[in-house]
Amino acid sequence: MNTIFLQNVLTVAKNTFKETVRNKILYGILAFALVYMLFTLFLGSISLGEDLHVIRSLGLAGIYLFSIIITVFLGSSLLYKEIERKTLYFVLSKPVSHAHLVLGKFFGLLASVAVAVAGMALVYLSVVAFKGGGFDVLALLSIFYQMLEMALLIALSIFFSTFSMPLMSTLYAVLIIYIGHSLDLLVSSVAKSSVAAKAIVKVIYYLLPNLSKFDIRDLVAYGTHIPFTQTLLVIAYALVYIVVLLYMASYLFEKREL
């Protein structure tokens, strides 16, 4: 049974990967990312002696920004397109369950995003090395943190796509990204507010993912050491959210009247 489960998930993942890498808009986004990475060389050259720091900061920020665009763009319509094209009936007529489909879509899109991020990371590392920064090992850790966030956002996008159209899924995802990076600021802003306001913010804080946990770009840009225990906690944090979101997506997808 486990073998059949893995085979079904792998088959869906392969098809999803092939479908996403054929998307011409994906290559357009990557082309913009390449131009941006090369443009950091110019920005670094006019930074009055802080060229390497500027290139690292802007380069990592660029990888994050374009990763977000790719993830949200591809993830928001992942399941919806299957429903609209009626291909879902054909897929589910085989020994493929809703859970297989959701997990396969998740891993397929994650693989596509990982390949895109790897390409951007290669350009970034080349630019840093060209400017005399050597092999930026800490940047790889920052990119790994970013991939954890992308995995969480993919799960979130799949969850939204089980009950909403692509445009709404995109809006929901963007809203979660904005709130997720503002939770710490939101908590501090209501420190002197009423008990009710604090309670509401506390619920939001523990319900929504705190995406600022995945942001170590500034620390990496300044060469700050990241404790191994912190990395393990961040991995566990991401995995919990991903598992819960994919389980809920599978449940809603199965209950949805096709």
Q: What is the pLDDT along the chain (258 residues), one digit of tens a residue?
A: 577 778 888 888 888 898 888 888 888 889 999 999 888 888 777 776 677 888 888 899 999 999 999 998 888 777 666 666 655 555 555 666 778 888 989 999 999 999 999 999 999 999 888 887 788 888 899 999 999 999 999 999 889 888 888 788 888 888 999 988 888 888 888 877 788 888 888 888 888 899 999 999 888 877 788 889 999 999 999 999 999 999 998 888 777 655
Answer for the pair 65, 151: CB distance below 8 angstroms, yes or no.
Answer: no
Rounded CA separation 121/33 (Å)? 10
Task: Pick the closest to residue 222 from 158, 104, 132, 138 (CA basis).
Answer: 138
Cβ-based burial of 222 (10 A; exposed 0-12, middle 13-18, buried ≥19):
exposed
Give the pTM.
0.88
Q: Residue 71: helix, strand or coil by DSSP?
A: helix
Rounded CA separation 87/101 (Å)? 12
Rounded CA separation 101/252 (Å)? 13
